[in-house]
């Protein structure tokens, strides 16, 4: 299967381009990435995960975290040519790198958050994204539910795990 037609990648594109839900972008791509055989941090999907995370931080005002993460994303994107071209043929790869570099510059200047879209060059991919989007319930772009998603979700499992680790003997 072509990697860009994987259902989780399609969800990523919808979340990224339609309502800028960068938290969900991270979640679905991390699930996809971890399902790949022998996944490593060098996998091209990690560039998209880092990009989403960096944009999430920037929009929430975490400039230092945004900058660090976006620089890592850009560096991984520059390594894409070392990977199978399936990861660059269905989208405007050069534009993606330029947009990421432009965002890094804006973050360095502490400019206000401004989203961009990942431009798709494959009509087939665009049709698949449109089809998936029609069945997704998306939160409104710019809403608190999207911007502060990690703070609004049920974190009881995360907090319980932290408590358990604290009680373990060192």
CA atoms within 13 A on the CB side of 86: 11
Instruction: Quote the tokens at residue 67.
Output: 């900058």
**Separation CA 60–CA 44 (nearest Å):** 25
Residue 1 has a pLDDT of: 42
Domains annotated for the chain, with CATH where assigned, are 3-167 (1.10.3450.10)
Per-residue pLDDT of the chain (170 residues; tens, 9 = 90+): 455 588 999 999 999 998 889 989 999 999 999 998 888 888 888 999 999 999 999 999 999 999 999 999 999 988 776 555 665 678 888 899 999 999 999 999 999 999 999 999 988 889 999 999 999 886 657 665 666 666 555 555 555 666 777 776 66
């Amino acid at each position: 299967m072509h990697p860009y037609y994987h259902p989780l990648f399609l969800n990523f594109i919808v979340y990224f381009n339609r309502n800028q839900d960068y938290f969900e972008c991270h979640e679905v791509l991390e699930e996809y990435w971890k399902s790949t055989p022998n996944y490593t941090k060098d996998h091209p999907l990690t560039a998209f995960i880092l990009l989403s995370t960096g944009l999430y931080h920037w929009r929430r005002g975490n400039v230092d975290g945004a900058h660090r993460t976006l620089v890592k994303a850009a560096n991984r994107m520059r390594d894409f040519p070392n990977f199978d071209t399936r990861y660059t043929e269905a989208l405007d790869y050069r534009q993606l790198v330029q947009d990421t570099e432009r965002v890094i510059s804006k973050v360095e200047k502490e400019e206000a958050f401004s989203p961009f879209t990942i431009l798709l060059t494959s009509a087939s991919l665009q049709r698949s994204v449109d089809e998936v989007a029609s069945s997704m319930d998306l939160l409104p772009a710019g809403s608190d539910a999207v911007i502060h998603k990690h703070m609004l979700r049920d974190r009881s499992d995360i907090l319980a795990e932290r408590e358990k680790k604290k009680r373990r003997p060192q």
